[in-house]
Structure 1
């Protein structure tokens, strides 16, 4: 499949240059194509009597806006456009056709204030190449647009937003709809940008492909579908792999129970759970399908005495997970280090396993490791600040997996980044249903179950998508949706992926 790219402003400009200089498509042709695509999108949202105010900047975005002004007037809509004085191709066309352009800031602000909820403002002031805060006239126009009752369509990115790093300080357009030209811009998926972009769509205007490497992609249903394990008709339990999950303690019994349930519903053939003696009766009730591994030592937690038994069992497994509800005692540290340094099985480390992890252990003699940290856990592992990680998780994920090439990173947060070898897939679909204790344990379980019969990157991508989409299958309000409900919804997610349909 073709990946859904997320590009920086520089990469988008390179694509434009390639299309114009190497493929020979003139810039005015691309501009006209973009303007007509934008008009078609906007007209699908207009109602009879809608008015449109187009705010045009001095660059190519502004030229797209002026072309929209002409096309929409030709289609019979009531439009007005602002553009600072100056000569350009689109301005000359408007003059030749007798279509006026307003230059009075006072007049434009009054017009914006008069618009209602059926009207639209088109933000064509600045595109993804903006690198400094809006000032003067542009700051005033942005405040006027944001204060209007009209809805706002942003062209490429909302003005006031850097196409790579997200919102700049100061005023930023608060769009209801953002139409990215050619490809979605990386800055629009960062956490600070999501409340400002509204609905995001991408318009294909026929830009070429410069064939230079791209490393950041959007995680979509199509991508998740390609990562879902195939379930052949002629198969048996060994076809779908064997899983060992180690975790749990007297105080935190629920984490491993939830994670194991999620794992089982992700489809592995055989599941073995290694929990302290005190949790075994509950685990038999919660998940009778799982086998239990007897552990010596402390009956309340996984102690150092239990580590050899877990390592021995790990030899016959396709994937081993550790950390959920395990606690941070010395046994946890010993187990994590020995799994990383003495086995070549695929590992999934979450929760307490991440709290004791020394990143030097990730340079393994064999096998891959999937890490599933939230920003706080990732900060402890890397030494980077939580604020830096959350401001640009894409950059953080890239840098980490370039340094640790045997690792697949699932960096959780408002957006989730899945990364391997410096490539990053971004899921920018915040879901408040998942903002609860236990949701991360469920994600670990889903990924572990998928990794039993799929490579680690594909398991992480498919698992992250399924975890995010499961609440959409529920009729429960986000406040009432809990991790246990997620397991019940997984079947609908798997079916939707196999049947190539949206939830």
Structure 2
């Protein structure tokens, strides 16, 4: 699923109307039909439709027309008057009037009382007030209308975006509809990805309204939401003649005294995701503990430089950082790996922490690098506040990836994966997975897929998808899902995704 800003959507609409000669009223009609499809008409029978004079209002008038034809009870309101009404909106407004539908004007507080009464007695409120083009704060009568809708509706469906939501940033522009469902068109709006917007959008459905693929390709800027079909198409089917050497040598550099769990989980993440041969390099004081826990992985010590250097040379992927501690030894190890490795490196946890004020280390890399920070780690290495990053996750991740020529996987709800050009948003995972070790598991999975021959950015988003997919599946029967549960389930989830038609 592709992601778009309001500017991109405007360019797409303008091109369709002005260059392809697709009448705007046709796109509006297609949009209205898709809204009707999602109104659960077997369940809801009476509707209050709230419109304005823009194209979003035109969608609302068209929806009202179809509901009237379907013999549903409707009450229609126009907020702010019809002066300078958009052309396509006016067409649908006039059709509705000629059909004998009364359209109530909302221009003062007495009118708002009528709107409140209508909302209270109807099954559903349809929000067709503002669309994707809104960029200013909502004030006056519009502010009051939105509050009345939120306070009195039994169920709200927003057309394209909830009125009052900045569709680019996800910020509330003064006041905003709190929808139960949002029926959006053609492309997923960028603002929907920000933290907290789910409380405003409700369930999001993106519908095709007949815009040609060539037009979308012309203006789209390589930002996607990954889905199961995309992952299934990329997962390699194993050849029956293949052997362990075909699925990569993965080196995990992790762990320290008191942090054996991080090393164990990361290593097991690589094993359970299908890597051919996995070796853990850890401090000597915890090596015996971890050696006794592993059945499929080999172990070597930080102190054995010859074995470590040999493992680095032979590896197809290296994961470094989990549980190592934010200290000089970790910095030294990371520097050594970056300077000497010719295979992709996945840096997590303390491997990221030691990069604070030392990002220039990445300039010496001889191979591709993936970093997997959470918000706090991203704040440390960028110098930006956590709140700022939360509000600008895509932009911050893309800029940092581009400046340092790396892949950034910014963890959290709707994980961002980007190389600075292409950006992928992961759609899986939920709060049942909010526990220690999850990031270590994901790092091992990414290293495993890189070792098996996937490009680093693909390995990152495939691993993120499967990681979250497994967590979602397990959470159906579990209150909380821990990293150990994910480790057990990884091979089953991969097989499930591969075999699902």
TM (norm. structure 1) is 0.92
Give distance in 1, aligned partners of 2:302 and 2:92: 76
Give distance in 1, aligned partners of 2:68 and 2:381: 57
How far is 1:378 from its partner? 0.9
Equivalent residue for 2:38? 41
How far is 1:433 from its partner? 1.5
1:471 aligns with 2:471: yes
Give distance in 2, aligned partners of 1:345 and 1:49: 58
How far is 1:365 from its partner? 4.6
CA displacement 1:277-328 (0-9 Å, x = unmatched): 23223323332110111342xxxxxxxxx55642332000000111111112
CA displacement 1:39-95 (0-9 Å, x = unmatched): 1221xx233562111111221000000011111110111111111331511111112
Q: Work out which of the residue numbers 313, 316, 319 in structure 1 matches 2:314.
A: 316
Give distance in 2, aligned partners of 1:364 and 1:419: 21
Pair 1:80–1:278, CA change in 2 (3 A): same
Equivalent residue for 2:206? 202
Give distance in 2, aligned partners of 1:66 and 1:78: 14
- Structure 1 segments of 4 or more deviating over 6 A? none
CA displacement 1:365-417 (0-9 Å, x = unmatched): 52101100001111111112211111120111111112122x11100122210
Give distance in 1, aligned partners of 2:492 and 2:147: 44
Equivalent residue for 1:413? 412
1:277 aligns with 2:284: yes
Equivalent residue for 1:174? 178
Equivalent residue for 1:482? 482
Give distance in 1, aligned partners of 2:44 and 2:307: 74
Equivalent residue for 2:294? 287
Q: Work out which of the residue numbers 166, 174, 177 in structure 2 matches 1:162.
A: 166
After superposing the two structures, state which structure 1 stretch, 242-251 or 105-114, moved more: 105-114
Equivalent residue for 2:497? 497
1:447 aligns with 2:451: no
Secondary structure of the residue aligned to 1:243 is strand
Give distance in 1, aligned partners of 2:269 and 2:228: 20
Give distance in 1, aligned partners of 2:42 and 2:471: 33
CA displacement 1:318-344 (0-9 Å, x = unmatched): 001111111123211111112112222
Give distance in 2, aligned partners of 1:311 and 1:56: 68
How far is 1:179 from its partner? 1.0
Secondary structure of the residue aligned to 1:418 is strand
Assess if the C-alpha contact under 8 Å between 1:370 and 1:456 holds in 2.
Answer: yes
Q: Gaps (5+ residues) in structure 2?
A: 106-110
Pair 1:279–1:476, CA change in 2 (3 A): farther
Assess if the C-alpha contact under 8 Å between 1:227 and 1:461 holds in 2.
Answer: no
Q: Work out which of the residue numbers 197, 211, 214 in structure 2 matches 1:193.
A: 197
CA displacement 1:106-139 (0-9 Å, x = unmatched): 2111221234xxx221111111111112222221
Give distance in 1, aligned partners of 2:396 and 2:228: 24
Equivalent residue for 2:108? none
Aligned residues: 483
Equivalent residue for 1:135? 139
Q: Work out which of the residue numbers 45, 50, 59 in structure 2 matches 1:55.
A: 50
Secondary structure of the residue aligned to 1:425 is strand
Q: Work out which of the residue numbers 254, 267, 290 in structure 2 matches 1:247.
A: 254
Assess if the C-alpha contact under 8 Å between 1:167 and 1:192 holds in 2.
Answer: no
Q: Work out which of the residue numbers 10, 18, 23 in structure 2 matches 1:21.
A: 18
RMSD of aligned alpha carbons: 1.7
After superposing the two structures, state which structure 1 stretch, 185-194 or 218-227, moved more: 218-227
Assess if the C-alpha contact under 8 Å between 1:227 and 1:459 holds in 2.
Answer: no
Give distance in 2, aligned partners of 1:50 and 1:389: 43
Assess if the C-alpha contact under 8 Å between 1:225 and 1:462 holds in 2.
Answer: no
How far is 1:429 from its partner? 4.7
Assess if the C-alpha contact under 8 Å between 1:399 and 1:422 holds in 2.
Answer: no
Equivalent residue for 1:303? none
Give distance in 1, aligned partners of 2:293 and 2:473: 23
Give distance in 1, aligned partners of 2:66 and 2:78: 16
Assess if the C-alpha contact under 8 Å between 1:125 and 1:159 holds in 2.
Answer: yes
Q: How does 1:63-82 map to 2 (within 5 A)?
A: 63-82=58-77
How far is 1:425 from its partner? 0.8
Q: Work out which of the residue numbers 86, 93, 96 in structure 1 matches 2:95.
A: 93
Pair 1:380–1:475, CA change in 2 (3 A): closer
1:124 aligns with 2:140: no
Pair 1:351–1:308, CA change in 2 (3 A): farther
TM (norm. structure 2) is 0.92
Secondary structure of the residue aligned to 1:25 is coil
Equivalent residue for 1:299? none
Equivalent residue for 1:340? 338
Q: Work out which of the residue numbers 113, 128, 144 in structure 1 matches 2:148.
A: 144
Assess if the C-alpha contact under 8 Å between 1:307 and 1:334 holds in 2.
Answer: no
Give distance in 2, aligned partners of 1:126 and 1:415: 25
Give distance in 1, aligned partners of 2:185 and 2:429: 23
Equivalent residue for 2:348? 350
1:7 aligns with 2:14: no
Equivalent residue for 1:302? none
Q: How does 1:103-114 map to 2 (within 5 A)?
A: 103=105, 104-114=111-121
